[in-house]
Structure 1
Amino acid sequence: MIAEPPAQVLTTFGLTAHPPIAMDGSGLGGWRVGEVVLTMVPDRARAAWSATVRENLYVEGMRIARPIRATDGRYVVSGWRADTYVAGSPEPRHDEVVAVADRLHEALAKLERPRFLLQPPAPPFTDVDVFVAADRAAWEEHPMRSARAAGIAPPESEDGRQSVAVLSTLAGLRRPVELPSQVIHGDLFGTVLFAGAAAPAITDIVPYWRPASYGAAVTVVDALAWGGADEELIERWTDHPDWPQMLLRATMFRLAVHALHPRSTAGALPGLLRVVDQVRLLV
C-alpha cells in the first residue's frame, strides 16, 4: 500500500476534518481526504510546475484537477501535493484520449519550456531520470547516448537487450522532422479519467518538449501495446503532422523506457513489438 500522508502534511494543507482513504483501486494511487486527493510526487519541480499550469488552465470539453495550496502557499509539502478530487477512472476509450491530447496540447502551445526539461539525467537516478533518458533516446542522433553519458546502467535482461536492439534498428528509419516543439503531456494513456457522459478529466501534466503530434503518438502506441486498441487506431489519426515519424519516435521512446526502467517486466515487450511491426509498415 502507498504510504499514508503524515499528520504534518494533512495539517499544512488544512485537511484535518476527514480521515485519508487510500485510492488503490483507482489506478492512479493517492489518498482521498474529503474532496481533496493527496499524492506523493516523484519530482518537486515538476509537481510545482504542473500545479501552476493547472491552476488556471481551461480546455474546452475537459475537467482538470485544480491544485490546493498549503496554508503557507506552497504546492508541495514534504513530497506531497494536493488536488481537487475529480470523479472517474481510466477506460479503453482510446480515440477520446487522443482527442483529449489534441485539445490539451492546443491549450499548452504558448507555454515556455520549463528549465528542468533542459537538465540531463543525473545520479542517484529516479524514475524521472529514466523517462528523460528514454525520451532523448527517441530523438538524439545516437540513441541511448544520454543514458550512457549519465551512467545509467544498460539492461541486463534478455528482453531489455532486445528492446535496445530493436530501438537501434528503428533509429535508422528516422527522417528529419521540422515541426515546432512545445510543452506536451507525455503520459495520457491510463491517466485520463472517464465518468459516464461527463467530460474526460486529467489530474496532472507530465511535461516534455516535443511536437504536439508526438504526444498523440505516444498515446496511440501505449493504447496499441497495452490497451487492446484496434489496429485501425493509427489510421484514424493520420491527419496529425508527420504522423509516421511521430509514431516511430514514440515507439522508440517506449522501447527505451522498457530497456532502462528497473521495474520493467518481460511481459510488456510483446505488445511493443506488435506496434513495431505496424509502425515499420508506415515509414
Structure 2
Amino acid sequence: MSASPPPQHVRAAFGAKDSVPEPVGTGPQWRCDDIALRPVTNPAEASWVAQTLTDLSVPDLRIGRPLRSSDGRFVVGGWVAFRYVSGRPEPRYDEVIAASLRLHKATADVPVPRFVATRADVFAMADRAAAGLEEAPLNPALGGRLFDVLSGTRKPLGLRPQVVHGDLFGTVLFDGEAAPGIVDFTAFNRPREWAAAVVVVDALAWGGADDGLPKRWAHLPEWPQVMLHALLFRLAVHALHPHSTEQSMRGLERAARQITAL
C-alpha cells in the first residue's frame, strides 16, 4: 500500500478536498467517501485504463468508473480516482471466470494499446516467453526447469487475440449478492480464454481451489492448450520475479499436476 495518503492538492483536483482518506484492503487504494484514489507508475497506461473503463458496459459487473480532475485529466500528481466499489476478493472462482468472459466479450473490439508491445516488465517478458516469442532468463529452481519441461508440449493457439485483463485473481471484488466488481485493468493481447485460464492457474496454485475447477471450464475452445499457455506464463513470471519463493513454487507445482492431467 502507498505509505502516504493522496496529498490534499490531488484530493482537491478530484473533488475530495475535505474528505479524510482511509486505506482500503491490502492494495494501494485510499477511500475518500464515495471516491477512491490509487497511485500509478505509468501515466500513459493509467490514462488508457481510465478511458477504457469509462467506455465499458458489461452486464452483471460493477465497474469503478474513473473520474476526471477539475481540469479534465485522469491522472494528477501520479494518482487516479474512481467511484468506490465495495467488496473484497473471495474464493468464488467460477464467478470470477464467468465475470472474466463477460468482461472480455465487451472488450473484443477494443484496440490494443501501443504500450502492450513495448512493455519490458517481468509480466511482459513472461508473456512473450510463454507464447514462444522470445527467451527469458528463467531461474531453474523457481519455475524455469518446469517451464522447459512443459514448453515442449506447447502448440500455437488458433484463438483470436484481443485486449484482456490478465490479472483478475485476487482483484475481483464481492459484496454479498451484488455483482462482481473491478477497479483496474491489466492489459494483455491474448485470447479471452487465456485470461480465464490464468484465473484457474492462480486459484489452483494459491487460492485453494478444488481440483474440479479446470474441468468445469473444459468446454471453452482449445482448453488444454490454453491452460498450458496460462501455466507457462505463471511459471515464467515466477522464475523472473525477484520476490518469488520456494513455498509459492509448490503451489505452481500443484497447479501443474492438475493441468497436465487434462
TM-score of Structure 1 vs Structure 2, range by shorter chain: over 0.9
Q: Secondary structure at 2:205's aligned position in 1?
A: helix
TM-score (norm 2): 0.95
- The aligned amino acid for 1:8 is H
**1:110 alignment partner AA:** D
Candidates 238, 243, 256, aligned match of 2:223 = 243
Q: Which residue of 2 aligns with 1:204?
A: 184
Deviations 1:180-215 (A, max 9, x none): 100011011111111101111111111100011000
State yes or no: 1:52 paired with 2:51.
yes
In structure 2, the residue matched to 1:256 is 236
* 1:133 alignment counterpart: 125
1:74-109 CA-to-partner distances (Å, cap 9, x unmatched) read 111121110100111111101000000110010000
What's the offset of the Cα at 1:281? Answer: 2.0
Give how far 1:42 is off: 3.1
Q: State the secondary structure of the residue aligned to 1:249.
A: helix
Distance in 2 (alpha carbons) for counterparts of 1:120 and 1:57: 24
Distance 1:40 1:169, change over 3 A: same
**Contact 2:142/2:246, CA 8 A, preserved across alignment:** no
| Partners of 2:51 and 2:244 in 1: CA distance | 31
1:34, distance to aligned residue in structure 2 (A): 1.2
Residue equivalent to 2:93: 94
Contact kept? 1:70, 1:77, Cα under 8 Å: yes
1:272 aligns with 2:252: yes
Unaligned runs of 5+ in 2: none
Contact 1:41-1:79 at 8 Å conserved across structures: yes
Shift of 1:168: 1.1
Structure 1 gaps of 5+ residues are 122-128, 149-153
How far apart are the structure 1 equivalents of 2:83 and 2:243?
Answer: 30
- 1:124 aligned residue: none
**Partners in 2 of 1:28 and 1:223 — Cα distance?**
19
Do the aligned partners of 1:27 and 1:89 also contact (CA within 8 Å) in 2? no
Structure 2 counterpart SS, 1:225: helix
Q: Report the Cα distance in structure 1 between the residues aligned to 2:61 and 2:119, rounded to whole angstroms.
A: 33
Tell me whether 1:221 sits opposite 2:213 in the alignment.
no
Letter in 2 for 1:219: V
Whether the 8 Å CA contact 1:28–1:191 is kept in 2: the answer is no
Asked whether the 8 Å contact 1:164–1:256 carries over to 2, the reply is: yes
| Matched residue, 1:112 | 111
Question: How far off its partner does 1:163 sit?
Answer: 0.7
Q: In 2, are the aligned partners of 1:39 and 1:81 still within 8 Å (CA)? A: yes
| CA-based RMSD | 1.4
CA apart distance, 1:8: 2.2
Give 3-state SS (helix, strand or coil) of 2:160's partner. Answer: coil
The one-letter code matched in structure 2 to 1:187 is D
Match in the other structure for 2:12? 11
Q: CA deviation at 1:170?
A: 1.1
Shift of 1:120: 4.5
Size of the alignment, in residue pairs? 261
Percent sequence identity over aligned pairs = 47
Q: Alignment partner of 2:156: what SS?
A: coil
Give the superposition deviation at 1:179. Answer: 1.0
